[in-house]
Amino acid sequence: MTGSPASDAAHISSALPAGEQAVLDAVPTQLYIAGQWCDGAGGDTVAVDDPATGETIAEVADATPDDALAALGAAHDAWYGGWRDSPPRERSDILRRAYEAIVERADDLALLMTLEMGKPLAESKAEVTYGASFLRWYAEEAVRLDGRFTMHEAGGGRLLTMKQPVGPCVFITPWNFPLAMGTRKIGPAIAAGCTIVVKPAKLAPLSTLMLAKILEQAGLPGGVLNVITTRSSGSVMEPVIRDPRTRKLSFTGSTRVGRRLMAHAADQILRVSMELGGNAPFVVFEDADVDDAVHGAMVAKMRNVGEACTAANRFHVAQPIAAEFADRLAEKMGALKIGRGTDDGVEVGPLIDEDQLEKVAELVDDAVAKGARVLCGGERVDGPGHFYKPTVLADVPDDARLLKEEIFGPVAPVAAFASEDEALAAANDTEFGLVAYLYTADVKRALRVSERIETGMVGLNQGLVSNAGAPFGGIKHSGIGREGGPEGIAEFLETKYVAIAID
Ligand code: NAP
């Protein structure tokens, strides 16, 4: 193990602008275990590339299974060593200090995020604000944990109900929101008195490492948060998930991987939270304000270049306004400026890698081969990086794959419907159930459809649902559990009941 994280940074990028290099140089690139920054036991590293250029910008430590088990050991020791009994005010103050540090350094953190995963700077800044809001929210919740004390219904006894931290947690997070997907778990877990091993995605691990450094500087004791980076997530994390010292698994990522991790978790009857894939319908009724709907569609579709679990994946629009909606959406999508997220005025960054780019192109080609019309885009951008043009497809047939599969790219397929029942049937015709967007001016319809739509969240006349105070999560194959709001901290608390005789 070694000392200062910053001095151990092992960045290999060259010829980056000085501001970008300075931001990268501030990031610790080692594992963080028991309050120490250290190399992986095998001594290897994993390259982190800028998706806009394909250039390697950093090398982070490549953990072995033993490193991950050491991290779990540290989380276990820190929990039994006192964190579970730490004063709620102490936990709250640490989260508050970290929140303030993030806000103060928002520009640098946004640049870091853009460098590692490509989204335009303005969007990175928005994620920094959103990510920090979970630390603030749970700083406020940490001192409000309570229980119940009631009389036995027959008298003569008392019922005491208390909330206790679940214990050491394992978190696995994706690359698409590299800060917020971490803080949404780490904030409530720290507030509840849990300890943590977190493994960010190898494609974008730098924001999580920086977050760990900020929490360390905010006074978080060693061992409460441990960070593992690795190129071999399956073989490194499976032993940790199967280890009886782990008490909770919280995963954000694809349904395919989530299903596999739930199977590992079953052996220990591990508590799990699963934030998985989506296939969000965006439904526009005839009575909707089309201007509002197009504005909301841009937000719901283009946030994160469409690489969001909440991204509107398909647009179901009432027949009489479908053509107008598609044309106006195409006009706006076609006018967006594409480029490296650090460049002025850029609104659309690259996709994360070549695999993702090929998948998006394949889904568009499939829809076009089946009869969809391309209103704008429909092709990749030549040159370095993984860029795909914002695309609107009209007259998309029911059997097009992109109506069923998560696109994860800047592609908006528009299909028309003839009635409310037909719209609902189409919207619910998916194994996913994360979020739906509804546009209508009719209050009765809004409530009727909100109740019947099979998703965990609904955006009603708005294209964005994420909020630290709200329960984020899905049903069906989109997941189990909620993040954010009071529900988010409940995921990290066990309920204990004490039956008390008083006479
Ligand atoms: P992914 O491939 O499932 O990866 C997610 C995380 O799991 C990464 O850290 C990945 O690490 C790790 N992982 C992959 N295989 C693993 C294994 N066998 N054992 C342990 N860990 C493993 O998903 P992604 O491509 O990063 O993210 C996109 C998906 O996440 C989309 O489906 C999206 O909808 C979903 N998502 C959901 C939410 C939500 O709140 N519901 C939010 C954001 C994203 P490596 O990549 O380093 O291998």
Pocket flag, ligand 1, residue 310 (CB < 6 Å): no
CA distance 174 to 278: 14
Atom 48 of ligand 1, nearest CA residue: 233
Sign of the dihedral defined by the CA atoms of residues 14, 15, 16, 18, in that order: positive
Written as one letter, the residue type at 279 is: N
* Three-point CA angle 376, 377, 379, nearest 5°: 150
Contact partners, residue 367, CB within 8 Å, separation at least 6: 393, 396, 397, 400, 401, 402, 413
- 378: which residues sit within 8 A by CB, 6+ positions away? 364, 368, 389, 391, 393
Tokens representing residue 125 in the block: 């800044």
Domain coordinates in residue numbering, the chain: 18-276+480-495, 280-467
- Catalytic residue ranges: 275, 309
479 lines ligand 1 (CB under 6 A): yes
> Tokens for 168?
């050491």
Q: How far is CA 112 from the centre of its chain?
A: 17
Atom of ligand 1 nearest to the CA of 232: 48
Output the tens digit of pLDDT for each of the chain's 503 residues.
333 333 344 444 558 999 999 999 999 999 999 999 999 999 999 999 999 999 999 999 999 999 999 999 999 999 999 999 999 999 999 999 999 999 999 999 999 999 999 999 999 999 999 999 999 999 999 999 999 999 999 998 999 999 999 999 999 999 999 999 999 999 999 999 999 999 999 999 999 999 999 999 999 999 999 999 999 999 999 999 999 999 999 999 999 999 999 999 999 999 999 999 999 999 999 999 999 999 999 999 999 999 999 999 999 999 999 999 999 999 999 999 999 999 999 999 999 999 999 999 999 999 999 999 999 999 999 988 899 999 999 999 999 999 999 999 999 999 999 999 999 999 999 999 999 999 999 999 999 999 999 999 999 999 999 999 999 999 999 999 999 999 999 999 999 999 999 98
Ligand 1 atom closest to the Cα of residue 177 is 43
Do 280-467 and 18-276+480-495 fall under one CATH topology?
no
Q: What is the pLDDT of residue 14?
A: 58
* Residue 249 CB less than 6 A away from ligand 1: no
Q: Tell me the three state secondary structure of residue 309.
A: coil
Q: What is the pLDDT of residue 383?
A: 86
| Residue 233 beta carbon below 6 angstroms from any ligand 1 atom | yes
- The residue with tokens 């001016």 is 441
Q: What is the residue with the minimal CA distance to atom 13 of ligand 1?
A: 233
- How far does the chain reach from its first CA to its final CA, in angstroms? 57
Superfamily of domain 18-276+480-495: Aldehyde Dehydrogenase; Chain A, domain 1 (3.40.605.10)
Predicted local confidence at residue 10, as pLDDT: 41
* Cβ(466) – ligand 1 distance below 6 Å: no
What pLDDT, on a 0 to 100 scale, did the predictor assign at position 15? 81
Contacts of residue 325, defined as CB under 8 A and 6 or more positions apart, other chains included, come to 284, 290, 293, 294, 297, 315, 317, 414
Amino acid in position 355: D
> Of all protein residues, whose CA lies closest to atom 45 belonging to ligand 1?
201
Q: What is the pTM of this model?
A: 0.96
Ligand 1 close to Cβ of residue 215 (< 6 A): no
CA 422 to centroid of ligand 1, rounded, Å: 33
> Which one of 3.40.50.150, 1.10.8.100, 3.40.309.10, 3.40.50.1980 gives the CATH number of domain 280-467?
3.40.309.10
